[in-house]
Amino acid sequence: MHSLRLRPARDEDVPAMAALEVAAFLDSPMHRAMFPKRLRIKPGIQDQLEWNISRMRKGLSDPNLHHIVVLTEAPEKGEIIVGCAEWSAPAAEECEAGEDEEEGKTNEEKAKDMELRLARLPPFLDKGALLDANDEVMELIEKSKDAFQGENRHKMWTLNSISVDGDYRGIGIGKMMTRWGMERADHDKTGIWIISSSLGQQLYKSLGFRQVAEGSRMGEPQYLMLKFYDPGPEHNGTSTAARGAR
Ligand SMILES: CC(C)(COP(=O)(O)OP(=O)(O)OC[C@H]1O[C@@H](n2cnc3c(N)ncnc32)[C@H](O)[C@@H]1OP(=O)(O)O)[C@@H](O)C(=O)NCCC(=O)NCCS
């Protein structure tokens, strides 16, 4: 029996979190497409590690992102990080205004913005693969549009990433980190949507998520998992419980 402790991530956790995430996704088609050998600058997985470290450091200072870690006591090592996850909270009002602004832009302006964003990315990242993956995810979101039943996904919680150390899988760490976001979403009276791989599919289903659309990213199956806010039986009427049953 492992003692498991969940807490918000701190700056000093970042190297361990980055290593954990790289190891968890190393064999995924998305990871292989994003970090092709032909663009590699440093040996082994150094490029990916550096990229994750800088992305996570930036993420930790973003008030809309919530990084959590799960720790356990390991023999002779002391407390180690065995799970990490990144949640996005619903967008703040001013961000939504920003998005309206984005929607008001012409395709030319949007393409220019994207070009600028891509130019800031490190040379070892395959920008074409990143764009293709982004298009595929947007396609999956578009496919699931009806399932959202008019709810704005930007006003919901979403799980951006979740990784558990290979030696500690199947003992409830993934569930712990998913439940953390479910509690926050319940507190905010909002739902959750997740783009899931096959590995996460069962985890979210076991926690009451519905699979509402299926797609693929870089040849790997992806699923849109959705859970509306459910205030419980005493608040039914127009509740999301009724919505889920439709
Ligand atoms: C997906 C992942 C986070 C799950 O973490 P985990 O800590 O192993 O998950 P849990 O132990 O909490 O298990 C949750 C559920 O997943 C399913 N599950 C867990 N291990 C499983 C296994 N080996 N085979 C099949 N299903 C499994 C079970 O349904 C389980 O629920 P149950 O215990 O009520 O039956 C982990 O496998 C991982 O890090 N994968 C690589 C990274 C990744 O793909 N992340 C993206 C997921 S969208």
Q: pTM score > 0.85 for this model? A: yes
Ligand 1 centroid vs 132 CA: distance in angstroms?
27
193 near 121, Cβ under 8 Å? no
Tell me the CATH class for 5-90+121-245.
Answer: alpha beta
CA–CA gap between residue 76 and residue 148 (Å, rounded): 48
Query: Which of 15, 34, 57, 55 shows the shortest CA–CA distance to 123?
Result: 34
Domain chopping of the chain, boundaries: 5-90+121-245
158 near 87, Cβ under 8 Å? yes
Ligand 1 centroid vs 153 CA: distance in angstroms?
25
What pLDDT, in 10s, does the model give residues 146-196? 999 999 999 999 999 999 999 999 999 999 999 999 999 999 999 999 999
Ligand 1 centroid vs 92 CA: distance in angstroms?
31
Choice between 1 and 22, residue whose per-residue pLDDT is larger: 22
Residue ranges lining ligand 1, Cβ < 6 Å: 24-25, 162-164, 169-175, 196-197, 199-200, 202-203, 206
Q: Report pLDDT for 213.
A: 98
Query: Is the per-residue pLDDT at 102 higher than 90?
Result: no
Q: Say if strands 210-217 and 5-8 run parallel, antiparallel, or are unpaired.
A: unpaired
Burial grade of 228 (CB within 10 A; 0-12, 13-18, 19 or more): buried
Ligand 1 centroid vs 169 CA: distance in angstroms?
6
Query: Is the per-residue pLDDT at 214 higher than 60?
Result: yes
Query: Is the per-residue pLDDT at 26 higher than 90?
Result: yes
